[in-house]
Amino acid sequence: MDKKMEKFLREIPKTDLHVHLDGSLRLSTLIELAKKENVQLPSYEDVGLNNLVFKENYENLGEYLKGFAYTCAVMQNEENLERIAYELALDNIAENVRYLEVRFAPQLHINKNLTFSQIIEAVSRGLERARKEHSQNGKLKNGEDIPFKYGVIVCAMRCFNEHFSSYYHDLVKTLNFAPRKEIFKIASMELARAAVKMKDEHGCPIVGFDLAGEESGYPPIYQKEAYDYVHKNFMGKTVHAGEAYGAESIFQAITECHTNRIGHGTFLFDHEEIKDTDITHPEEFSDKLANYMASRRISIEVCPTSNLQTIPALKNNIQNHPVKKMIDKKLSVSICTDNRLVSHTTVTKELSLIVENFSITPKQLRDLVIAGFKGSFYYSNYTDQRKFVRLVIDQYDKLAKELLA
């Protein structure tokens, strides 16, 4: 990739609609907080942690997820949560990300000293502090002032256990009569009610509801009640789907959970991954689903590096990733990081990976970047969002003319 394009990708306004707070700490902050909170790490040096935990390449999803036990362990009080959110916002602002949706599972942080509302408020304070600093001091290098905006997405968990959170242990004691899958549904419904209340009654910037965790064996339909509730309360909806399971998981997320966006969607076109025997023509099903998503502008949050690290079928080769097919099929695609620490990435790196490895036309690149702004769960009203998108488009076009001519 030439120097002009490198500079262009750095300086254009960008979004990240799919980034996990607990996967995106600064490594130095993790080490510092672990020492302060007496959290045992395999190493207290950057090199050691990167060699042992946060690798460039992982054997499987299990190894990839190993690091979250350490990050979540230092995210159990308000001070740490606020700092981590603040630093994440600063890191995004520094690479000209101008709209950020931070997602996390509050039920992994709830403890006897930390409530759901305290968790949300702490993260919001950190993001807001960064926003205010940028509004006072921050400008793009060419002097064009574009505000930094953000939203919070709360994640329900498909499944979790006492090793994930003390919350689950207490919930099991309260609901000892219920089967595990029923407990997960109850937990999601409790989270949905709390999120809507915080958004509507306390003005917290919760813009969306997500479903994360192990996909196989825990289809989206199990969480239908929680999604029905947030849907009726006008909250944005996204679902991790098609990441470790076939297109029918994406179909369920759309039809049963009313989702506006799909997290990952990597197996959308892989009809061989469809397991539902009622789908007699899998290839046709995948094509119709993709066409439906394209026509309804149901966005896909694509996280290329993370997918390469966690999906063995891609064989760690970006050419095997379906992102180019998604783009060619006119799907609404936004490029995201997933986990900045765990995947050692940034939005700029992810866009560079696409540009360097696929034949992307100038129009396709423009659409790819703008799709993030258009597909966001923007916290304010739609009129304001349109004005913000127009500001971004004008800036993008200006930089394209100046830097790529």
Residue 147 DSSP class: -
CA 289 to chain centre: 22
Instruction: Clarify whether 37 is annotated catalytic.
Output: no
Say if residue 363 is exposed, middle or buried (CB neighbours under 10 Å; 0-12, 13-18, 19+).
exposed
Q: Are the beta carbons of 335 and 360 closer than 8 angstroms?
A: no
The CB density around residue 381, as the number of other CB atoms within 10 Å, is 8
* Sign of the dihedral through C-alpha 312, 287, 324, 349: negative
The full DSSP string for 168-227 is HHHHHHHTTTS-HHHHHHHHHHHHHHHHHHHHHHH---EEEEEEES--TT--GGGGHHHH
Contacts of 128 (CB under 8 A, 6+ apart): none
The CB density around residue 65, as the number of other CB atoms within 10 Å, is 16
**Strand ranges across the sheet with 261-264:** 14-20, 97-104, 149-157, 206-212, 236-241, 261-264, 299-302, 333-335
Active-site position among 82, 243, 273, 301? 243
Residue 373 and residue 339: Cα distance in Å, rounded? 20
Question: With the CA atoms of 393, 300, 53 and 103 taken in that order, what torsion angle do they form, in degrees rounded to the nearest 10?
Answer: 70
Residues forming the active site: 243
